[in-house]
Amino acid sequence: MRSTPKPGSSTETNLHSRRATIVLVCLVAALSYVAPRLQSALMSNLQTAWPLWPGCAILAAVLMLVRTTLWPIVILASLAGFVLFDLHADVPVASLAWFIPADTIQVLTAAIGVRYCFGGAPRLNNVKSLAKYGFFSVILAPFLAAFVSAPGIPGNYWTSWRISFLSEVLAFVTLTPAILSWFSEGPEWLQKPRAYHFEFASLTAATALLGYFAFAASTKSDSPALLYSLVPFLLWSALRFGWIGITGSMIITSFLSVWGLVHGRGPFRALGSENSMLSLQLFLIFAATPFMILTAVVEDRKLAGEQLASLSGRLIEAHEEERKRIARDVHDDYSQRLAMLAIDVESLTEKVGDSSIETKQELLDFYQRISELGADMHSLSHQLHSSTLESLGLVTGVKVFCEEFAYTEHIQVDFVHENVPSSIPGDAALCLFRIVQEGLRNVKRHSGADKANIRIDWSGENLHLTVSDRGKGFDSGTPPAGGGIGIWSMEERVRLIGGRFEIQSHPMQGTRIDAWLPSKSEWR
């Protein structure tokens, strides 16, 4: 007997998956028809001899993003869109017999090669990844497909081969990376600050305006100066906005340059139809390639920086955990054992009595030394991990530490605080506490000063810490011997919280350390 599926069962999940698949297939089919249709309106009567054919580049990007089990139905839907457009554009059926196999070979070569190299959707965040993508998608796939599609284009075979090859190369250089970058980086990009989006909109508008004057304005000037003027904006796109920026700028540039060529405008209009198209294609390909490489290098360096920052954060966290463990061992084990030993020595001293004054005095000295060692162990435990900071907050923790430091190191420490919130997060409080520790240690080791000043204040926008002295100082470009790691540690701690760190020092004029931590809404 067949049972009735319960709500939330796998049947509903499969139904939802089928709906998503149907939507995807319909979207791909529609896009495969609409994209060339729009370009057909742009290209006027050039028919199949287009500088850029968008269909295969879009389909290949979709195949790189979806699971392989959907490939057959997605490819069939897309090819149906291609055929429908070609029939509406009065492309001969004999040409379609060449174009459909060529498109299939092309998208499968690009998608299979890229998926094999990347194990999934590609991320073009380094030169090696870009080279893999470029070999399969930009070179091999169009190269193979051009041999099959060339007979479907009227004219000389090798001229048709070149037109087919370069039009597909240009599409895979611009459209496919744009689609891939929006799917991989788009959600994060949308969460950027409003100022970042405004800057991107300004760049887009400036690129479009300058591209219009360079390629589409009804001017008779053939000066290449306007072409060179695009370089700073392409650099801006690559360095500031990564793949989304550079692919967007290149799509704008390609659209305007193609539109200008079709309407007899721009620097390529005077070369003749065939030479104009070849020159435009080569210009766009060789203009996009170096900026794509630059973008990949920048993304690689950015990723390396993020990984290094993450590693630094984990090292600091591991360091703090080790401090806690050692402090706990020192306090709960060694300090207790020393205390018990001191009690035993004191008890033994009482038992000795007056029978041996010299022995009793030695035991008293021994007891004193053990007591001092126990106090030092307690101080070491507190320096490794301040329970006062953890339980009573930043101000009390820093105050207690300054008092202990002044007592043990015989250095006057003036601590001042103003408007410091009581609910500072633990990571921010620990960051400032470690800076105070390291700053006072550097005063003791390097400055030769007998006084240090500590100040913490809150302005409502920043929590500001200052550690200063009037000691020997040093050249800011050359940290004192043994002090480089400590300065790096302070700076790294502040950076990980999103703050700002500065150190100012001059020989014989003292040293000043400043740290600013951004205020949070929950600080009160």
Query: Could you tell me the pLDDT band of residue 336, with boundaries at 50, 70 and 90?
Result: low
Q: Tokens 């300065």 — which residue?
A: 487
Q: How many domains does the chain have?
A: 2
Residue 434 lies in a domain: yes
Q: Average pLDDT of 93-97?
A: 89
| Nearest CA-CA partner of 512 in 449, 468, 464 | 468
More confident residue, 311 or 139: 139
Query: Could you tell me the pLDDT band of residue 498, with boundaries at 50, 70 and 90?
Result: confident
Spatial contact of 74 and 24, defined as CB atoms under 8 Å apart = yes
Query: Could you tell me the pLDDT band of residue 92, with boundaries at 50, 70 and 90?
Result: confident
DSSP-derived secondary structure letter, 448: -
- Of 156, 175, 190, the residue at which a domain comes to its end is 190
| pLDDT over 50 (residue 298) | yes
pLDDT of residue 142: 94
Percentage of the chain beyond pLDDT 70 is: 78
Query: Could you tell me the pLDDT band of residue 49, with boundaries at 50, 70 and 90?
Result: low
Residue 223 lies in a domain: no
pLDDT of residue 386: 65
- Other CB atoms within 10 A of residue 128 CB: 12
More confident residue, 169 or 377: 169
pLDDT of residue 313: 64
Query: Could you tell me the pLDDT band of residue 524, with boundaries at 50, 70 and 90?
Result: low
DSSP-derived secondary structure letter, 470: -
Give the model confidence (pLDDT) of 401-428 as tens digits. 888 888 888 889 999 998 888 778 888 8
Residue 58 lies in a domain: yes
Structure tokens at 509: 């004029």
Cα(32)–Cα(20) distance, rounded to whole angstroms?
A: 18
Cα(399)–Cα(389) distance, rounded to whole angstroms?
A: 10
pLDDT of residue 236: 93
Q: Average pLDDT of 497-507?
A: 86
How high is the mean pLDDT of the chain?
81
Q: Average pLDDT of 222-244?
A: 85
Residue 55 lies in a domain: yes
Q: Average pLDDT of 427-443?
A: 86
- Give the β-pairing of 462-469 and 412-418: unpaired
- Of 190, 206, 228, the residue at which a domain comes to its end is 190
2 Rama class: left (phi>0) / alpha (psi -120 to 50) / beta: beta
Domain extent, residue 465, equals 387-524
pLDDT of residue 13: 38
Residue 2 lies in a domain: no
Cα(125)–Cα(503) distance, rounded to whole angstroms?
A: 35
Q: DSSP states of 486-506 as a string?
A: HHHHHHHHHHHTT-EEEEEE-
CA geometry: angle at 269 spanning 237 and 226, to 5°? 35
Cα(394)–Cα(246) distance, rounded to whole angstroms?
A: 46
Residue 154 lies in a domain: yes
Query: Could you tell me the pLDDT band of residue 273, with boundaries at 50, 70 and 90?
Result: low
Spatial contact of 24 and 66, defined as CB atoms under 8 Å apart = yes
| pLDDT over 70 (residue 319) | no
Give the least confident one: 142-151, 187-196, 213-222, 507-516. Answer: 213-222
Report helix, strand or coil for 515: strand
Query: Could you tell me the pLDDT band of residue 274, with boundaries at 50, 70 and 90?
Result: low
Q: Give the global pTM.
A: 0.68
| pLDDT over 70 (residue 203) | yes
Query: Could you tell me the pLDDT band of residue 3, with boundaries at 50, 70 and 90?
Result: very low
Strand stretches in 163-251, DSSP E: none
Residue 91 lies in a domain: yes
Residue 52 lies in a domain: yes
| pLDDT over 80 (residue 258) | yes
Q: Average pLDDT of 217-223?
A: 63
- Of 173, 190, 207, the residue at which a domain comes to its end is 190
Q: Average pLDDT of 476-497?
A: 72
CATH code of residue 460: 3.30.565.10
